[in-house]
Structure 1
Amino acid sequence: MSDETPILAPSYDPSAFESRLYAEWEDGGVFKPRGEGTPYVVLLPPPNVTGTLHMGHAFQHTLQDALIRYHRMHGFDALWQMGTDHAGIATEMVVARNLAREGLTRDGLGRAGFIDKVWEWREQSGHTIERQMRRLGASGDWSRSMFTMDPMAADAVIESFVRLHEDGLVYRGKRLVNWDPVLKTAISDLEVVNEEEDGHLWSISYPLADGSGTLVVATTRPETMLGDTAVMVHPEDDRYAHLIGKAVKLPLTDREIPIIADAYVDREFGTGVVKVTPAHDFNDYLVGQRHALPLINIFTPDAVTNEHVPEKYRDLDRYVARKAVLADLEAQELLVETKPHKLQVPRGDRTGQVIEPYLTDQWFVKMDGLAKRGMELVEKGDVQFVPPNWINTYRHWMENIQDWCISRQLWWGHRIPAWYDAASGTCYVGRSEDEVRAKHALGSDVALTQDNDVLETWFSSQLWPISTMGWPDEAKMAQLGYDRYVPSSVLVTGFDIIFFWVARMIMATDHFTGRVPFRDVYITGLVRDKDGQKMSKSKGNILDPLDIIDGIAIDSLVAKRTTGLMQPKMAEKIEKATRKEFPDGIAAHGADPLRFTMAALAGPGRDIKFDLGRAEGYKNFCNKLWNATRFVLMNTEGKTFSGKPAPVTDAEKWILARLEETTVQAAEHFASYRFDLLSQALYEFAWNEFCDWFVELAKPALNGSDAAAADSTRHTLLHVLESLLRLLHPLVPFVTEQLWRSVAPRLSIDASTISLQAYPEAGDNTGDFAQAEGDIEWLKAMVSALRRIRSELGVSPAKQIALLVQGGGEIECKRMGRFDSQLRFLNRIERIDVLNGEPPAAAGALVGEMKLFVPLEGLVDLGAERARLDKELKRVEGELAKSTNKLASDTFVQNAPAAVVEQERQRLTDWTAQRDALAAQRARLG
């Protein structure tokens, strides 16, 4: 790292130093754990290797980085474990698209050739998101970054599968799964997006087998009736009690199916009769299990009808089959009614295709025992949710858990370690084919074929807390500090993956190691746009964090938002909205303003509405900090101090007391994960108390004749600024580093980076400052009141004024004497007199019990001021009349909510006080 003290540029320009500083931190090993002190570990939820940094990442990574920087500065052995996920489906799709541009196909290359292409792509393009995280300032230990397809991770995955199989917790069976007919693979619930769409509800007549009548059922998927194995009524529905146990003829087929009774049926919906298709509906599947119904799968993997339907309907796409079925039902007068119907349609988040509940052979993990143990660990507090109410979400899922489908029909991923003997039909599970052959005494004459499927991504991700620490290899575990860093301290993640990842990490880590994976789970909300809408490509409201950091021209922004949209009208609409919202593109803000925005919006567990205007405001904050530092450096030129200041002036004592209180608040807010309150406290202290008030209050001493007060004030300015930069560093690391390097040498601090400085602690700035605090708050009130008078009168800040004071208690009168010179300096007052009688034409204010009057003679045009006051009086009297009339109305007082009535009474009081003050001021003008 550079030892040169940087010369501050005239204004804040993050592009001049952010990338340089990050490279210095990383090259200098700042982000590596020290191996000493209390461990503090944060696990990065590994982003997809195909992905780029989005607003959700920027939000969560900011909070994780703030935590790790804070604890690193507190002397903890801080480790932020980095890494990326291999993202099976997403990666296969990306590479397949790239191959198509070259005229190649996945199947044409074969499995080995395709996997080679994936690795080739990963080396060229798979590190993008990690580079972008660096741009945000993420201070993780990149030397330990792990990819879930790395050999160490792969060994953990294979070991866990084998152990679960040996424990009787992994099995292969035919069950219903979410099936994507385009990808031709099972997918998880997280990869299914359920959206309300317009559809139809068809009512179909099912004739009773004995010819005595019909039952009418309603369905949104008439083609699946070809796989019906029962119709169902409620056991307590008197309309159908006499039919339970009988049969109906399944239309368009030669089959008869039973009429069964099950409490699942909603008697109030439709006719109260429901068709049961166990192989094509998850709820029907459970009904089928209870009633031992047969399962008839009518589709092929690409959603085309198969040999289990009548020949007329075979080899048809599911929607073509639907039309054929409906046409024949209508021809046979069995289609009773068709009506519009809103329904939840499950679509694959990658392909957009409607997902089929599909019966297929898959590998599963038995979850009931694991879930019971996972629930115990959270209930007894070994793992704690923040905010604590999220335990209810966790508990609900754990108590209703189903066995977990862990296999995927892909090539990219961890191939399932199972081998089949085609001759005997036996399946063997082992760590390798050699182990399988040795364990089961299988000679070379026995042909074995490895299972073609891979394990789903969440299976490898559940091992993240221990696979990153070398498990199960004891030598690697010792090398990477397994005993030191497991469990980790906190996991920061969104509520949407409590089920899919958080819960599974808890269960897996406990099952394999007897430990919990982490102590705290801090649950964040989701980042939405400024109107609270979910950010999506189709809405054209996605913001790219890198565009906010580095800026983007409007044409480039439009191109980014509309590229890939299939519908020209949608692209045109998005372009128009984008140009209206960002006519000049997005200006560069730098990483720190974006980070501060994210932290400031991070309320406990709620979604955040991201408004770019907030980022602009925090850019101004960074600029304010920059300018205040320049002021301090200019006023301490040639001066060097050491140790803590011994304050001479009341202003110094006040700012030191405020610094102490802010330090206490920062510790409290970090401990409770209240980043919003942390940001608010630091912003208030930095902007209002230091940059505004203390800089102003320091000027009388800096420009006065008391050399001791001037030097003490310089020392305090540097001390408080340096402490403030350390307080802010976890949130805004770049600007604080750049400024600190200029400030630290003047306090005789010999260090190269703020990142490894001690974070301010309570007790650093204690003293008997109570009287000074009260005095300075009074002085601030006086200065504010006089400045407000100047502003209202339009008097130039450079123009001298006279001040008349009247009344006030003993303490206030003493303060007037003590702060005479400060008041004169800060308010450009040429004289201060005590007023005994009636005031002349003057503008007034009240501070405590002391009345302040600024004579208007020579300051303003009295005629214009009378006219202004008359106009304002008229406006206030109008508002007063409105409140009076409202409260005089019995209808309003009796019918309006109590809070509204009380609010109106307060308004009446406020308007009355304003009217009286204006009237008195007007009377003084004659």
Structure 2
Amino acid sequence: MLDKAFDPASMEARLYAASEASGAFSANPESNAQPFTIVVPPPNVTGSLHIGHALNNTLQDVLVRYRRMQGRDALWMPGTDHAGIATQMVVERLLGSQGKTRKELGREAFVDRIWEWKAESGGTITRQLRRLGASLDWPRERFTMDAGLSKAVIEVFVRLHKEGLIYRDTRLVNWDPVFQTAISDLEVENREMKGQIWTLRYPVEGEPGRFIEVATTRPETMLGDTAVAVHPEDERFRDLVGKRAILPLTGRAIPVVADEYSDPEKGTGAVKITPAHDFNDYGVGRRHDLPMPSVLDAEARVWLAEIEADLRAVDGVADPDFVRALAGVDRFEARKRILAELERLELLVKADAHTNMVPHGDRSGVPIEPRMTLQWYCDAATLAKPAIEAVETGKTEFVPKQWENTFFAWMRDIQPWCISRQLWWGHRIPAWYAPDGSVFVEKDEEAAQAAARAKFGGDVALTRDEDVLDTWFSSGLWPFSTLGWPEQTPELAKYYPTDVLVTGFDIIFFWVARMMMFGIHIMGEVPFKHVVIHGLVRDEKGAKMSKSKGNVLDPLELVDAYGADAVRFTLCALASPGRDIKLAKSRMEGYRAFATKLWNASRFLEMNGIAANPAWKPESAQGALARWILDGANTAIAEATAALDAFRFDEYASVLYRFTWNSFCDWFIEFAKPVLNGPDGAEKDEVKGAAQHVIGTILRLLQPVMPYITEELWTHLGFGGEASLIKAPWPAAAEVSGAAEARAELDGVVRLITEVRAVRAEVNVPPSITTKLLVQGASPETLARADRWIDAIRRLARVTEIEKLDGPVPPGVVQAVVGEATLLLPLGDVIDLGAERARLSKERAKAEGEVKKISAKLGNADFIAKAKEEVIDENRERLADAEAEIARLDAAMARIAG
């Protein structure tokens, strides 16, 4: 017998272990079944499960379990990413706590220490995914730096280099001065910061007393200025274009150039151009062939090596000794000294308060520096073209489709991809250098030595490149490297291309695009047929979750509180396409109640002797009740299947919630109770047969999203042994004769009872009070149906009898319309209808006031301009709720007859 109370904690670990041990999670390359493949977006090996992971993996697991039940050979490939900078940071901090540094250990010993850390602590997130119920094919787990994947990385790098698609170049990169490495745009976090904007005067060469004013937030980089830019149509500066200004402090003469980057409406209309320290300025420098000297070193300290020769004294403008004294000074201290000197020289016009977005390293937490460095690049523009075409022609489809526009916008304007990182942890670049600077890119040092001998006619000393590859390079190979490529494995032949990628929109550029580019170029086929994009998980008010705000929800704490099934169902139910998820614990509580409802209904069936009965055939059903619930189950199967096929996880959850809670638990079981409590016979057998068939269908439909409770109930009700539901087939529609008639019969009764209940609730009739029900204008068929189900109507609608009304509507009734009939409840002697009308009117006035207040706020342009997006969304939702409340109250007042 099932326990009286539903306790998820008592069953989850046991059921997961049983399912995993049964082999249900494993793919079978040797089977003839049609494959279905998903690769998990590999979480960082340093990571732990957050709510975004919980959402992403729940949606993947729903799809994988669904396809398994359809008979597909499902492979859900697990793994983790080595996460170069994040992992190196973790281990460096551990060493720091022991009073050591990586440089003291040396590269080889430091890398060995990271591998030790990975063996000890790197599996946290995979253990946590098991808690969530993720049915990954764990024996196939991969790591982006395991031997097989490392071989794939080297193979691709060497191939692309020989094809001219990987090369070295000196360009501007995001530079993290703490880790002293280039970082990707993804690793840059823009933070709003309050600071100042300074207006400076640059003397015009040859025109004493004339200046051109520029505004800047970064006076410390002015030492590297190589031009002043003005808009070509700005009349204020037309005569200055082609002339030169004297750069304060250094004395160098720099040109005034016309470029549309300068905005005449912004600041002074003139901007200083520092190509080596600003991405926009870099573009101007390229267009005008400007010098690009660096004036900050790897640690963001003043560095004069590239401008020393240009320093010259200019009276009242520049003192080389002052500049030389800045060498080695931190950028922010240099800013203070430079501003003080400019003020002394009377070249500082003003300082205004200014708020702007400052890029920071997401790991180091310090402002990043744009910096000119020699790096390895990948020709992303060439690789992007086939990827763009694949989406344009529908070989790969984004769901929702609107995300294709985001993909196109970035891919059609893609820049060279900096793939080298100045780290020790990662895939070391397979390039070796000869003493004369010649570079040999080969799969290993032996091949590089052979290539060097061929060039030089003998052995030369080779030095390997110190840099490692961007982690997105290796994760870009994930769909095929995890299947054994470059070896031609059975897994690669069967499971590539994969079917679906489920991911967040925030890594379309960084991961999805790279997998598309590499997959098509290396494998000749797109890596996946569908890219399903989900939103971000936010708090209940729509705000982004952060530790500083204290609004982070830990998925494992939620699992402990509500059970994995409730957490999974909540995430699935809220996963509307194209929308972020507003997650509140109240939703978890609601879906925990749903699990309890299913448990209690199953326990009721078990107590009434209802268990699996494969001998009972649905097509034998004759009674309206059995045919109605069987037909409802058929509809639920069709709608759930369609929803999952369309990746509408929210609709899938909604269909099953409505059918399980409303149709089956609330209506069918309530209608069935008199039969189950009555004498044995054909009617009871039929109701029991229909009940076991439908609960079996519900459990199979819910298994992908609620694997624990469904597996437990499946076994208890006798449908199969332990860990058998996960292997059960997806339900198919049963043959039901007279379905339309049964639907009309029971749906009519349900509508009548529902409407009576609604009327009673709206005017606050206590449950203990019963009244008769007057029916006006009803057809003979409706009256006959009410007569057939009078016992259920009395019990569930709290009415004593049903009476046909032919005359005028009596006073003191509350009415409602169902179909062609008007239902009238004589409540004048039971409650004070005048007082109820007054109460409803008062509530309506309150709701109307709320509508006016919120509408005024949303109509205020200043509010819309300044308020955060989540605040605006919250107000719109409140407005919709208030408007719906007015409509409800109007309907309620209309029910009360005079």
Q: 2:525 aligns with which of 483, 498, 515?
A: 515
Partner Cα distance (1:876, 1:445) in 2:
95
Cα distance change of structure 1 residues 459 and 853 upon mapping to structure 2, 3 Å threshold: closer
State the TM-score, normalized to the length of structure 1: 0.87
Offset of residue 800 of structure 1: 7.8
Q: 1:667 aligns with which of 641, 653, 657?
A: 641
**Residue deviations 1:129-172, cap 9 Å, x none?**
00000100111101111000100000000111100100011111
Query: Where does 1:305-704 land on structure 2 (aligned, <5 Å)?
Result: 305-308=302-305, 310-421=323-434, 423-441=435-453, 445-474=459-488, 477-478=489-490, 481-550=491-560, 588-636=561-609, 640-645=613-618, 646-704=620-678
Q: Give structure 2 stretches of 5+ with no counterpart.
A: 308-322, 850-855, 860-879
Letter in 2 for 1:217: V
Q: Does 1:179 align with 2:152?
A: no
Q: 2:278 aligns with which of 269, 277, 281?
A: 281
Letter in 2 for 1:286: G
Corresponding pairs, count:
846
Q: 1:754 aligns with which of 716, 725, 730?
A: 725
Partner Cα distance (1:829, 1:531) in 2:
42
Q: Give structure 1 stretches of 5+ with no counterpart.
A: 1-6, 551-587, 857-861, 886-891, 896-901, 921-926
Partner Cα distance (1:668, 1:265) in 2:
53
In terms of mean alpha carbon deviation, does 80-89 or 906-915 score higher?
Answer: 906-915
Q: Does 1:26 align with 2:20?
A: yes
Letter in 1 for 2:443: R
**Residue deviations 1:299-322, cap 9 Å, x none?**
110011113353122110001111
Cα distance change of structure 1 residues 805 and 368 upon mapping to structure 2, 3 Å threshold: closer
Q: Does 1:168 align with 2:164?
A: yes
Partner Cα distance (2:894, 2:637) in 1:
43
- 1:898 corresponds in structure 2 to none
Offset of residue 812 of structure 1: 1.6
Q: Does 1:56 align with 2:56?
A: no
- 1:555 corresponds in structure 2 to none
- 1:769 corresponds in structure 2 to 739
Q: Does 1:106 align with 2:79?
A: no
In terms of mean alpha carbon deviation, does 911-920 or 221-230 score higher?
Answer: 911-920
Cα distance change of structure 1 residues 904 and 55 upon mapping to structure 2, 3 Å threshold: closer
Letter in 1 for 2:481: S
Equivalent pair of 2:15/2:723 in contact (CA under 8 Å): no
- 2:218 corresponds in structure 1 to 221
Q: Does 1:47 align with 2:43?
A: yes
Equivalent pair of 2:224/2:295 in contact (CA under 8 Å): yes
Partner Cα distance (1:374, 1:304) in 2:
41
Equivalent pair of 1:873/1:919 in contact (CA under 8 Å): no
Partner Cα distance (1:356, 1:906) in 2:
52
Partner Cα distance (2:883, 2:410) in 1:
49
- 1:873 corresponds in structure 2 to 837
Partner Cα distance (2:770, 2:248) in 1:
98
Partner Cα distance (2:667, 2:584) in 1:
29
Equivalent pair of 1:36/1:76 in contact (CA under 8 Å): no
- 1:577 corresponds in structure 2 to none
Cα distance change of structure 1 residues 769 and 321 upon mapping to structure 2, 3 Å threshold: same
Cα distance change of structure 1 residues 733 and 751 upon mapping to structure 2, 3 Å threshold: closer
Specify the SS of the correspondent of 2:502. strand
Partner Cα distance (1:488, 1:346) in 2:
36
Equivalent pair of 1:653/1:769 in contact (CA under 8 Å): yes
Q: 2:259 aligns with which of 256, 259, 262?
A: 262
Letter in 1 for 2:837: L
Equivalent pair of 2:131/2:564 in contact (CA under 8 Å): yes
Specify the SS of the correspondent of 2:665. helix
Offset of residue 765 of structure 1: 4.5
In terms of mean alpha carbon deviation, does 229-238 or 838-847 score higher?
Answer: 838-847
Offset of residue 701 of structure 1: 1.8
Cα distance change of structure 1 residues 772 and 192 upon mapping to structure 2, 3 Å threshold: same
Specify the SS of the correspondent of 1:306. coil
Specify the SS of the correspondent of 1:153. helix
Offset of residue 32 of structure 1: 0.7
Specify the SS of the correspondent of 1:313. coil
Specify the SS of the correspondent of 2:139. strand
In terms of mean alpha carbon deviation, does 439-448 or 64-73 score higher?
Answer: 439-448
Partner Cα distance (1:844, 1:237) in 2:
75
Q: Does 1:271 align with 2:268?
A: yes
- 1:576 corresponds in structure 2 to none
Partner Cα distance (1:757, 1:98) in 2:
48
- 1:889 corresponds in structure 2 to none
Cα distance change of structure 1 residues 879 and 315 upon mapping to structure 2, 3 Å threshold: closer
Letter in 2 for 1:682: L
Cα distance change of structure 1 residues 636 and 881 upon mapping to structure 2, 3 Å threshold: closer
**Residue deviations 1:324-345, cap 9 Å, x none?**
1111111111111111112110
Letter in 2 for 1:525: G
Q: Does 1:86 align with 2:82?
A: yes
Letter in 2 for 1:593: A
Offset of residue 655 of structure 1: 1.0
Q: 1:235 aligns with which of 232, 235, 238?
A: 232
Offset of residue 174 of structure 1: 1.4
Letter in 2 for 1:342: T
Cα distance change of structure 1 residues 66 and 254 upon mapping to structure 2, 3 Å threshold: same
Equivalent pair of 1:660/1:764 in contact (CA under 8 Å): yes
Cα distance change of structure 1 residues 826 and 378 upon mapping to structure 2, 3 Å threshold: closer
Equivalent pair of 2:82/2:143 in contact (CA under 8 Å): yes
- 1:578 corresponds in structure 2 to none
Q: Does 1:726 align with 2:675?
A: no
Offset of residue 513 of structure 1: 1.4
Cα distance change of structure 1 residues 109 and 903 upon mapping to structure 2, 3 Å threshold: closer
**Residue deviations 1:251-305, cap 9 Å, x none?**
1113211222222221222222111111111111121112211111111100111
**Residue deviations 1:548-590, cap 9 Å, x none?**
111xxxxxxxxxxxxxxxxxxxxxxxxxxxxxxxxxxxxx111
Partner Cα distance (1:908, 1:376) in 2:
51
Cα distance change of structure 1 residues 209 and 140 upon mapping to structure 2, 3 Å threshold: same
Equivalent pair of 1:659/1:765 in contact (CA under 8 Å): no
- 2:874 corresponds in structure 1 to none
Cα distance change of structure 1 residues 750 and 9 upon mapping to structure 2, 3 Å threshold: closer
Partner Cα distance (1:504, 1:288) in 2:
29
Query: Where does 1:831-846 land on structure 2 (aligned, <5 Å)?
Result: 845-846=815-816
- 1:149 corresponds in structure 2 to 145
Q: Does 1:290 align with 2:287?
A: yes
Partner Cα distance (2:887, 2:557) in 1:
49
Specify the SS of the correspondent of 2:562. coil
State the TM-score, normalized to the length of structure 2: 0.89
- Please tell me the root mean square deviation across aligned C-alpha atoms, in Å: 2.9
- 1:899 corresponds in structure 2 to none
**Residue deviations 1:479-510, cap 9 Å, x none?**
xx112111100101111111111111111111
